[in-house]
Structure 1
């Protein structure tokens, strides 16, 4: 995502519906990654005569699979602008519309690892154990130190009564700092 800064916070979601809009890293939502969505979110906002962005003026003009949430937060967290030399409004403020560009190529292996871990957890929760195992293996290939992915993989193998693979993955989860709590 290109803009004046990156979102540093995370939106905390509950259950599978909200997971669609869970933010991966600070760049994409789960749903946008799953749909391979790319594009521009246009954000309008007003800048004060001193260069501050009025928080309540920040609005998304369009939406793509929850990416507007990230675009809005990026604008809200952007540093102050230089005071406009030629304000567009009588009160000295200036309205802007800015595109925030989202591309899948901006995502890192760690982002994709997180995506596959979440997808694997969903499949595990829905008893799709073979699909869960495939997603979790993809997650681990992209981030070998993903302790939580090893743990969920261990659970999936355990449910399949594959105790050797379950034990091996639980040990790797602990090695990488995840104990299941």
Structure 2
């Protein structure tokens, strides 16, 4: 199977260059990962390419965790976690020594997110902290949600470079859905 995939990719690469068409970034095979979830009915679909990986998390119970371990030499430049939940009461993302806790919602049409250092004091992160997560709350139409609970939407969390800088072997993602 692997040989067939490699042969197909090589054929597509040669064919595109023969016509003078450079391959698109999405033509690169995606980075490889092993994902382990706490619960059997949780799923994490991995997509993207070598530059950007998306992790689509679905959790029927609304409270769980996943360990994402890279099997290649390095992480892609960007990692985006999409949590398909109704609400985000608590999120903890950690990679080696870097860890951030967060909660997000929508008030008066604007996304509100709290972020902190996940220790016993939950020290708030400063707005310019390099560990700060980029969090968007999206409705099923892909636009900023009008409110929560979400119906078919997602919490989209882009990890900052600080999480991947030291090339950790794995990421730990833990979540609690407020509406579980």
TM range (shorter): under 0.3
Higher relative contact order (CA 8 A, sep 6+): 2
> Which has the larger helix fraction?
1
What TM-score does the superposition give when structure 1 sets the normalisation length? 0.24
More strand, by proportion = 2
Give TM-score, length-normalised by structure 2.
0.25
Q: Rg: which structure is higher?
A: 1
